[in-house]
Structure 1
Amino acid sequence: MADRQDNGNDLRGEGISLLKNNIPVIEEFRSRFDDERGRALFLDNLTYYYVLLINELYADKDYAAMFNLAEKVKSRSFIDMLSTKASGIEEDLPADLKDVLSRKKEIETVFRDSLWVFFNTESSSRFGTLLNEYSELYQKKEELQPDLQTMISEETIKLEDFQDLISDGTAVIEFFIGRNAFYTFLVTKTGISVSRSKSSPRDIDSLVTKILTDINLFPNKRGAFIELQKIMNRNDETLDSANLARMWYASDADRTIQLSLFQLYKTMISPEQDKALTDFGRVIIIPHGFLHEMPFAALVTSVGGLDLTKKNHIARPRYWIEDKEILTLPSASSLPFLLKSGGKEEGSILIVGNPIYPNTKFSPLPFAEKEANEISRHFEKEKTLLLIGQEATETMIKGSASNYDIVHFATHGIYEEDALKSHLMLTKNSTDDGYLRASEIFTMKLNANLVVLSACLSGRVGAFGGMKYLTTDDLTGLTRALLYA
């Protein structure tokens, strides 16, 4: 029996060693893809190996190695974006280089979409042939275009370096969602703990979806309630709009959202981690996958925080934001970039409110203009550039945004599945079309320490290939474009 156990341990050790040795090979191969979409989908197909190793590291309580690997698989392409600029435009490339890149892209598509080649022995010969051709094409491309920066110099951050950047009184919660496991890292300046949720990622995704749906649909309940009262009391001549409003506010509205918010917190955060958080006033959240949609500040962290009195028309629980300062980061590896000072005069602000929208289907936002005017009153006039209506042109904003410490947008924001096409609506002119796209923001140079997006869906991210989210977190949206700029 002991020999059998020893053999099992030996095999497990060999398996872990094999996984560790193969991940650098995957990373090297991934770096040779020219386009972000290819890198994202290729790595997402192979995250199975990362997750296998992460599961084993959790069993061994090797939390530092686990954090480093989780950050690598989540943040690799985002760090690619932060550390390099996009390479040139293909229209000006020589014909022979275009041919090389075209064939290289064809082979990358096969590698990206055909994970089975690694397991199907009948296809191993074809795979080997393609791999040899791909290596030759890669070398030829390097010869024809030696200045192209395809090899990334920046690495994802290691745990000890990340902890050096965390201030006292701050705790960081980073989530990692595998195909069959949901992990929560709690990182402080001096320690780390990891918990694995008893719920599956699918169940947690369903709970998040329920919360978001309930929040979005709640405003419709008022209209439904009023229409029902009109039908039930159609002979009551005193039933005017004021009385209907009073009846609505006197009713007991749906109180289940707060229970879902409490359930989600307890599902993601272990009791030990919850207890440890009492010592910290600031919590930084690093989401993953579907959690990017979740408003973490609205979570309810204890039974005592629930509103069970029914004294309020709408349940008024104690939200997490009332006890902690809640911040979010796209990844741990982005922190060094974000800590770099913008260097502009402190307190200078560019405010954009209610432009003349290029798409006439969108109505003006008078309260966005009011918001912009109200914010401007809190800053020194000589340090403020307020752009309202016709003045809020895309051209003006592109040309002046780099001069301000704070940039505030109060306008329509549009989310696209092709995330680089997500955009803010501004005023158009003869130079620009009024759509400030994420792809354009990537080319801007911002020096701001704070950018506020007060726009519909502006904080959302997009996913490649029609998929909702990739395990690799290789997502690009307006928020990330601004971080990059």
Structure 2
Amino acid sequence: MNQEEKLLNDIFDIAISDPANLMNFLKQNQNQVSFELAERAKKIADHEASSNRLGNATAAYRGATNIFLLLGYRKEALYCYFQFWQIQYMLCKQPSDYLAVREQISSLLEKCLEVKAEYLIFRIYFVMADSAFWASEETKTPKDKDDLLLTVLQDLSNATKSIEGNNERVWIEQYVSLVSTIISKVNSNFFLLEQEKKFKDEVLEEITQGIEKQVETNFVYQKIPSDLNKTCQTLTNLAYLSYRYGDMKVGSERFRIASEVALTAKNDGIWLDIISKWHSIEKEYNDNLQELKKLQDSIFDKMESFRKSFKSRAGRLWCTQFIESSLSEILQSILRERKDEQIFEIIERLKARTLLDYMQIKPKEFQDKKISEIIFDKEKKLLRFNSPTSKSNVPEIIQFEGQLMSRLSIGTAFDRSERHLQQEEIEELYRLHNAGFEKTSNVTTMRKIQTSLKGDEILLEFFMPNHPTHPSIELWVIIITSKESKVLQIPLDSLKNPGMIGIMSIDGQQPLDVSPLGNFIGGLRVDIQEGTEKKAIKKLEECYDLIILPIIESGFELQNFKRCIIVPHGVLHYLPFAALKSKDGSFLIEHVEIIFAPSSTIFYELRKKQIPEFSSFLALGNPDLSKFKLPPLKESAKELESINEYVDKLESFIYNKEKATESILRKQSSGKSIIHFATHGEFPEEDIIDSHRIMLTPSKTHDGNLNADEIRTLKLNSAGLVILSICNGGIYRCGPGDEPYGLVPAFFISGVRNVIGSIWPLEDKIGRYFMEEYYSHLLVEGVSRAIQKTCKAFIRDKLPIRTWTSFILIGDGQSHTSN
């Protein structure tokens, strides 16, 4: 070690152990101190900093600062001292640490002017802004956080004023990155006072002017770590600034460049997000109809290619959720501005697409059974919710109806990022093992729907655009007959506001949607189930006026049609349409047969099937469920005895008690025309997609729990009708894209054409009476007409509404009869 190296080591040691005496030490060794020594100390400091040895860098910068000062090189000393405090900033952990650094480094501003080191002013203001930002991130108190964010804005404004002449790329990129981040923060803060909002707008206008002047329009990160998402997010945020505070042409160009970056990277998800934001901002600040239409047109094909890129069920559901939330505003524009055919197509692209995928194309299975089970468990974990941690004081029926009115999202606002990572892991495993969906299902056209409808049929497809805070902000209906169509918005103004509207989630449990329409339908269902007929009838009349009357007044008198196919959306899946009551005192079901379908395309797919005559009947009822500690269903046994009289012309297979096993079902179900279950069901709320189940007698080979995921694997292509004489058997919950979850969609995947099930609990005896009446008409009238005749018989006998409106038909409603 030579003398100079020894001196530097001594300087660095004292800089760490006794910094207050460092200058004295240098003066004592002044004859050995030189400009070259200072430069070498600075070079060592820069190297240690770039190598992330921050302790060594701190000592070296302090040493270099003092050497330059002793020699009278104030400008060089100031640079090293700034670097010293930048290292201290990097070592901060607490808000107080960041604020202390900010205060210390701000004291350098005056010295910069004294020594004409103007280039440092921009950097000092940036570090001040960054220090205040990280202090805000670590601060818990909302008011302190808001104050610090405004401080960040002020510091960035000052940095912007001094940006000219600072051509070191890394500093420009760090500055742009912080501006982009702070825009997202302050724009999501809804609690700023009016004076604070005014200050925010003034400062952002100053920042925008500086950025448009100094930062190139086609900005990309070159020096600091970044990815495609960060680059596109930055360009999008800078575009927002230009639209709101600067030159909209610059904003439009930045959006265009961001979209091209996403296209080059073949990332359709980021591209869709950019187009969505571009459309939103263009509509708010410029409202150029030609530009808006161009943006709308560009999304259609991309939606499909984006969806096609996902191979797993979870991925496709997540994709739909992403599209719904990202493109909600574009969809609302389309509803108001486009032709009926285009509106129909875009709505169909967002309805029950995963069910349609299973029906049209079927996913490739995993070759390794163990791998398949592991990945299946990961998907179930991703899609399920936590069970309630404590018993609620809310009555069980109210609690259930509240859940029923709520969409099942993938995760909540609090864990969505974590769930997205889980989804990406699952998707990668599907790709690795070459499994899952290889294509995406095709939606039908309005013209094809019209050709599939008979002259006496009408289809009503309802749609509620997604909204981040209002579960049912708008209601639209597409009315389709064999000859004409119409898109109609149904006003919801008459509904009583529940006092709070929004989407809530607690402790990872299912989100709870609260809206006027959801509250109304939930309340109606409770009134019907509890038998408060007067209250129920009043609401049924109000609901008729709300939903059916606008359709009639638009020129479509439902009484002129024999059959009405209803494609519900959201909470409308749980509305007892059959019981809607007109002012003349009649119920809707008295005038028209009612069939439900998850989507118009699924209705079309079912209708394309051949219509063989009913030839065989398989029934399983009153199983031995003593293992599950459930009592016998004596009425179910009587139900099957009575039904047998009406199907005596068919080849019948009826299994009761200990013979009503899952094993028998698996053995006998293939090739049967009608399959009837009269038993209990279980509907666990935490795993609705796969674990809703039909309960049968356990056997040596099967546990008796026929889960939805098992139903999907059955081969039931010959079944024109499955009847679930089970409490709540016809209820299916809905996820992203109005995706149906539970038993009903599982039967469609297995090949069934029509499913009948109940939409609330019903006494066994009432269920028996309904089924006896239904089967007395079925083989002569067909599946949908038989439902109507049964309801009319119950109405004629003045039985309670809940007894005859419980069972609904989901499918295509084609008339299967028998010789």
TM over 0.5: yes
Using a 3 Å threshold, how does the CA distance of structure 1 residues 257 and 114 change in structure 2: closer, same or farther?
A: closer
Larger radius of gyration: 2
Residues 47-106 of structure 1: per-residue CA shift (max 9 Å, x gap): 1454333322332251111111111111221211212334434755789xx99xx9xx99
Spell out the pairing of 1:200-239 with structure 2 (5 A cutoff): 202-218=515-531
Measure the CA separation in 1 of the matches of 2:626 and 2:364.
Answer: 30
For the pair 1:458 / 2:729, whether they are aligned, the reply is yes
For the pair 1:402 / 2:667, whether they are aligned, the reply is no
- Per the alignment, residue 125 of structure 2 pairs with none
Using a 3 Å threshold, how does the CA distance of structure 1 residues 113 and 19 change in structure 2: closer, same or farther?
A: farther
TM-score (ref. length: structure 2): 0.45
Q: 1:483 aligns with which of 748, 772, 797?
A: 748
- Per the alignment, residue 70 of structure 1 pairs with 347
Residues 373-413 of structure 1: per-residue CA shift (max 9 Å, x gap): 11111112661111111111101111111121111111112
Structure 1 residue 479: deviation in Å? Answer: 0.9
- Per the alignment, residue 109 of structure 1 pairs with none
Query: What is the DSSP-based 3-state SS (H/G/I as helix, E as strand, rest coil) of the residue aligned with 2:352?
Result: helix
Using a 3 Å threshold, how does the CA distance of structure 1 residues 348 and 75 change in structure 2: closer, same or farther?
A: same
Query: What is the DSSP-based 3-state SS (H/G/I as helix, E as strand, rest coil) of the residue aligned with 1:184?
Result: strand
Structure 1 residue 335: deviation in Å? Answer: 2.1
Amino acid at match of 1:202: S
Using a 3 Å threshold, how does the CA distance of structure 1 residues 72 and 207 change in structure 2: closer, same or farther?
A: same
Give yes or no for contact 2:566–2:595 (8 Å, CA) kept in 1. yes
Using a 3 Å threshold, how does the CA distance of structure 1 residues 263 and 90 change in structure 2: closer, same or farther?
A: farther
Residues 251-295 of structure 1: per-residue CA shift (max 9 Å, x gap): xx6512111112122222353535512321211111111222222
Structure 1 residue 37: deviation in Å? Answer: 2.9
Percent pairwise identity: 27
Give yes or no for contact 2:312–2:430 (8 Å, CA) kept in 1. no
For the pair 1:260 / 2:539, whether they are aligned, the reply is yes
Give yes or no for contact 1:414–1:424 (8 Å, CA) kept in 2. yes
Spell out the pairing of 1:417-456 with structure 2 (5 A cutoff): 417=685, 418-419=687-688, 420-446=690-716, 447-456=718-727
Give yes or no for contact 1:30–1:42 (8 Å, CA) kept in 2. yes
Query: What is the DSSP-based 3-state SS (H/G/I as helix, E as strand, rest coil) of the residue aligned with 2:527?
Result: helix
Query: What is the DSSP-based 3-state SS (H/G/I as helix, E as strand, rest coil) of the residue aligned with 1:475?
Result: strand
Using a 3 Å threshold, how does the CA distance of structure 1 residues 165 and 9 change in structure 2: closer, same or farther?
A: farther
Amino acid at match of 1:263: E
Q: 2:572 aligns with which of 288, 291, 298?
A: 291
Query: What is the DSSP-based 3-state SS (H/G/I as helix, E as strand, rest coil) of the residue aligned with 2:713?
Result: coil
Give yes or no for contact 1:348–1:404 (8 Å, CA) kept in 2. yes
Amino acid at match of 2:530: L
Using a 3 Å threshold, how does the CA distance of structure 1 residues 41 and 212 change in structure 2: closer, same or farther?
A: farther
Measure the CA separation in 2 of the matches of 1:356 and 1:401.
Answer: 19
Residues 115-167 of structure 1: per-residue CA shift (max 9 Å, x gap): 99xxxxxxxxxx9xx9xxx89x96x975x555x35232531111111111111
- Per the alignment, residue 387 of structure 1 pairs with 655
Measure the CA separation in 1 of the matches of 2:298 and 2:364.
Answer: 31
Query: What is the DSSP-based 3-state SS (H/G/I as helix, E as strand, rest coil) of the residue aligned with 1:346?
Result: coil
Structure 1 residue 343: deviation in Å? Answer: 7.3
Name the structure, 1 or 2, with higher relative contact order (CA <8 Å, separation 6+). Answer: 1
- Per the alignment, residue 303 of structure 1 pairs with 583
Measure the CA separation in 2 of the matches of 1:382 and 1:326.
Answer: 26
Using a 3 Å threshold, how does the CA distance of structure 1 residues 375 and 341 change in structure 2: closer, same or farther?
A: farther
Amino acid at match of 2:547: M
Unaligned runs of 5+ in 2: 1-283, 383-409, 415-419, 468-472, 494-513, 751-819
Give yes or no for contact 2:578–2:589 (8 Å, CA) kept in 1. yes
Q: 1:273 aligns with which of 528, 534, 552?
A: 552
Give yes or no for contact 2:559–2:591 (8 Å, CA) kept in 1. no
Unaligned runs of 5+ in 1: 1-6, 107-111, 117-126, 219-252, 306-317, 463-468
For the pair 1:188 / 2:459, whether they are aligned, the reply is no
- Per the alignment, residue 333 of structure 2 pairs with 56
Measure the CA separation in 2 of the matches of 1:477 and 1:192.
Answer: 32
Using a 3 Å threshold, how does the CA distance of structure 1 residues 345 and 192 change in structure 2: closer, same or farther?
A: closer
Residues 149-194 of structure 1: per-residue CA shift (max 9 Å, x gap): 5232531111111111111100011111123321111111111112
Measure the CA separation in 1 of the matches of 2:311 and 2:626.
Answer: 34
Measure the CA separation in 2 of the matches of 1:194 and 1:202.
Answer: 23
Give yes or no for contact 1:42–1:113 (8 Å, CA) kept in 2. no
For the pair 1:154 / 2:422, whether they are aligned, the reply is no
- Per the alignment, residue 621 of structure 2 pairs with 353
- Per the alignment, residue 229 of structure 1 pairs with none
Residue-pair matches, total: 398
Spell out the pairing of 1:119-158 with structure 2 (5 A cutoff): 145=433, 148-158=435-445
Deviates more, 1:42-51 or 1:162-171: 42-51
Residues 223-268 of structure 1: per-residue CA shift (max 9 Å, x gap): xxxxxxxxxxxxxxxxxxxxxxxxxxxxxx6512111112122222
Measure the CA separation in 1 of the matches of 2:329 and 2:611.
Answer: 44
Query: What is the DSSP-based 3-state SS (H/G/I as helix, E as strand, rest coil) of the residue aligned with 1:154?
Result: coil
Measure the CA separation in 1 of the matches of 2:312 and 2:361.
Answer: 13
Structure 1 residue 458: deviation in Å? Answer: 1.0
Measure the CA separation in 2 of the matches of 1:162 and 1:481.
Answer: 24
Give yes or no for contact 1:50–1:69 (8 Å, CA) kept in 2. no
Query: What is the DSSP-based 3-state SS (H/G/I as helix, E as strand, rest coil) of the residue aligned with 1:472?
Result: helix
Amino acid at match of 2:474: A
Using a 3 Å threshold, how does the CA distance of structure 1 residues 22 and 349 change in structure 2: closer, same or farther?
A: same
Amino acid at match of 1:294: L
For the pair 1:170 / 2:457, whether they are aligned, the reply is yes
Using a 3 Å threshold, how does the CA distance of structure 1 residues 391 and 340 change in structure 2: closer, same or farther?
A: farther
Amino acid at match of 2:711: I
TM-score (ref. length: structure 1): 0.74
Q: 1:330 aligns with which of 578, 598, 604?
A: 598
Using a 3 Å threshold, how does the CA distance of structure 1 residues 331 and 359 change in structure 2: closer, same or farther?
A: farther
Measure the CA separation in 2 of the matches of 1:406 and 1:335.
Answer: 19
- Per the alignment, residue 738 of structure 2 pairs with 473
- Per the alignment, residue 16 of structure 1 pairs with 293
Using a 3 Å threshold, how does the CA distance of structure 1 residues 422 and 92 change in structure 2: closer, same or farther?
A: closer
Measure the CA separation in 2 of the matches of 1:357 and 1:299.
Answer: 37
Query: What is the DSSP-based 3-state SS (H/G/I as helix, E as strand, rest coil) of the residue aligned with 1:409?
Result: strand
- Per the alignment, residue 265 of structure 2 pairs with none
Measure the CA separation in 1 of the matches of 2:318 and 2:729.
Answer: 24
Give yes or no for contact 2:321–2:736 (8 Å, CA) kept in 1. yes
Q: 1:282 aligns with which of 563, 567, 575?
A: 563
Give yes or no for contact 1:286–1:332 (8 Å, CA) kept in 2. yes
Using a 3 Å threshold, how does the CA distance of structure 1 residues 395 and 114 change in structure 2: closer, same or farther?
A: closer
Measure the CA separation in 2 of the matches of 1:168 and 1:86.
Answer: 37
Using a 3 Å threshold, how does the CA distance of structure 1 residues 342 and 354 change in structure 2: closer, same or farther?
A: farther
- Per the alignment, residue 490 of structure 2 pairs with 197
Using a 3 Å threshold, how does the CA distance of structure 1 residues 172 and 382 change in structure 2: closer, same or farther?
A: closer
Measure the CA separation in 1 of the matches of 2:299 and 2:338.
Answer: 21
Using a 3 Å threshold, how does the CA distance of structure 1 residues 394 and 272 change in structure 2: closer, same or farther?
A: closer
Structure 1 residue 431: deviation in Å? Answer: 0.5
Higher helix share: 2
Give yes or no for contact 1:350–1:408 (8 Å, CA) kept in 2. yes
Deviates more, 1:359-368 or 1:445-454: 359-368
Give yes or no for contact 1:344–1:403 (8 Å, CA) kept in 2. no
Give yes or no for contact 2:624–2:657 (8 Å, CA) kept in 1. yes
RMSD: 3.3
